[in-house]
Amino acid sequence: MMDAPGTPAVALRDVTLRLGGRPVLDAVTLAIGACEFVGVLGPNGAGKTTLMRTILGLVQPERGTVQVLGRAAARGNPAVGYMPQSRVALPTTRLTGQQMVAATVRGERLGLPSAGHATRAEVDRVLGLVDARALARRPMAEMSGGERQRVLLAQALVGRPRLLLLDEPLISLDPHHQHDVIALVRHVQLSLGITVLFSAHELNPLLGVLDRVLYLGGGRAALGTVDEVITGPVLSRLYGAEIDVVRLHGRIFVMAGRQEVAHCSHHAGASDDVRV
């Protein structure tokens, strides 16, 4: 089914959302178009995960409306694919990639797990989309971080979603595997013609593929191209502090005073702002 032209994939109107008393989103209005690749950025705790859970209908805003593909956000919308931030902590099992994805195929239905033809065909299809058919018979526990990410991405593609929410898929991957995951997601997004919201700590690895960025901070949100959003004045407003944006050799560094921000702690150290 095609969306009416111009129907945004996600539209927030005047959305205010509070968690534990603090506003995570404060009167935010924005629209994300069909077939866009949007990077969702912002410091830890800015609300990236909460925004995705709101789009999924798992968190209710206090005020305002959330429209997803032209309808009010609601749990169980098969048109929305999701890769959660918290990764599966598989105990010492030999469950294979195939079994992992199969559990997702119409997994909400009552009854016994399905091993039927339709399930196997769907698993094969989504594994093929992410070039992971070779992982079907491998135990998840023995895969590398990048391989596991492929299987989880396949899982998110079950049911042919038209909007894909990927919550920090780059976390704990080395730069090489980060690049692979980004290229893969971009390829899937373009070949299926779907919308992707891709949250990350760091902007630079995503620079080549982003259509637009959605930067969250201080309850506010800024949506636009990299050149529109990643600027001193816009980010200063989001952070509520003086922010400088430094562009160097095609990379962008967001600085508060002499310190680079928007990085997670695994990059701690002064070497951050002298990388080239």
Partner 1 sequence: MFAYDFMQNAFAAAGIVAVLAGVVGYFMVLRGQTFAGHALSHVGFTGATGAVLVGLSPLAGMMGMTVAAGVAMGMLGERLAHRDVAIGIVLSLSLGFGLLFLHFYTAFATQATALLFGNVLAVDAATVWTLLAVGILCLGALGVIMRPLLFASLQPELAEARGVPVRGFGMIFLAVVALATAACAQIVGVLLVFTLMVGPAAAALRVTGSVGRGLLLAAALALAEAWVGIAVAYVTDWPSSFWITALSGAAYLLAVAAVRG
Ligand X SMILES: Nc1ncnc2c1ncn2[C@@H]1O[C@H](COP(=O)(O)OP(=O)(O)O)[C@@H](O)[C@H]1O
Rounded to 5 degrees, φ, ψ at 181 are -65, -45
Give 60 or 93: the residue with its C-beta nearer to ligand X: 60
Q: Which does 96 bind (CB under 5 to 8 A by kind): Mg ion, partner 1, ligand X, none?
A: partner 1
Give 22 or 94: the residue with its C-beta nearer to ligand X: 22
Give 119 or 199: the residue with its C-beta nearer to Mg ion: 199
Applying CB under 5 A, the span of 41-49, 76-84, 187-195, 226-234 interacting with Mg ion comes to 41-49
Q: Which two tokens stand for residue 90?
A: 């598989």
Give 48 or 148: the residue with its C-beta nearer to Mg ion: 48
In the bound complex, what is the minimum distance in angstroms from residue 227's beta carbon to partner 1?
Answer: 33
DSSP for the chain reads -PPPTT--SEEEEEEEEEETTEEEEEEEEEEE-TT-EEEEE-STTSSHHHHHHHHTTSS--SEEEEEETTEE--TT-TTEEEE-SSPP---S---BHHHHHHTTTTTTSSSSPP-SHHHHHHHHHHHHHTT-GGGTTSBGGGS-HHHHHHHHHHHHTTT--SEEEE--TTTT--HHHHHHHHHHHHHHHHHHT-EEEEE-S-SGGGTTT-SEEEEEETTEEEEE-HHHHSSHHHHHHHHTS--EEEEETTEEEEEETTEE-S--GGG-SGGGGG--
Q: Which does 76 bind (CB under 5 to 8 A by kind): Mg ion, ligand X, partner 1, none?
A: partner 1
In the bound complex, what is the minimum distance in angstroms from residue 238's beta carbon to partner 1?
Answer: 27
CA–CA distance, 200 with 31 (Å, rounded to integer): 19
Between residue 14 and residue 73, which ones bind ligand X under the rule CB under 6 A? 19-20, 22, 24, 42, 44-50
- Binding marks (x or -) toward Mg ion, 73..92, rule CB under 5 A? ------------x-------
Please report how the helices 175-192 and 117-129 are oriented relative to each other, as an axis angle in degrees rounded to 10. Answer: 120
Q: How many residues bind ligand X (CB under 6 A)?
A: 12
Q: Which does 99 bind (CB under 5 to 8 A by kind): partner 1, Mg ion, ligand X, none?
A: partner 1
Q: Which does 115 bind (CB under 5 to 8 A by kind): Mg ion, ligand X, partner 1, none?
A: partner 1
15, 34, 43, 49: which one binds Mg ion (CB under 5 A) = 49
In the bound complex, what is the minimum distance in angstroms from residue 65's beta carbon to ligand X?
Answer: 20
Nearest CA to 26 out of 215, 220, 222 is that of: 220
Regarding 50 and contact with Mg ion (CB under 5 A), the answer is no
Q: Which residues of this chain interact with partner 1, rule CB under 8 A?
A: 56-58, 75-76, 78, 80, 82-84, 86, 88-89, 91-96, 98-100, 103-104, 107-115, 137, 139, 155-156
Residues forming contacts to Mg ion in the complex (CB under 5 A) are: 48-49, 85
Residues in contact with ligand X by CB under 6 A are 19-20, 22, 24, 42, 44-50
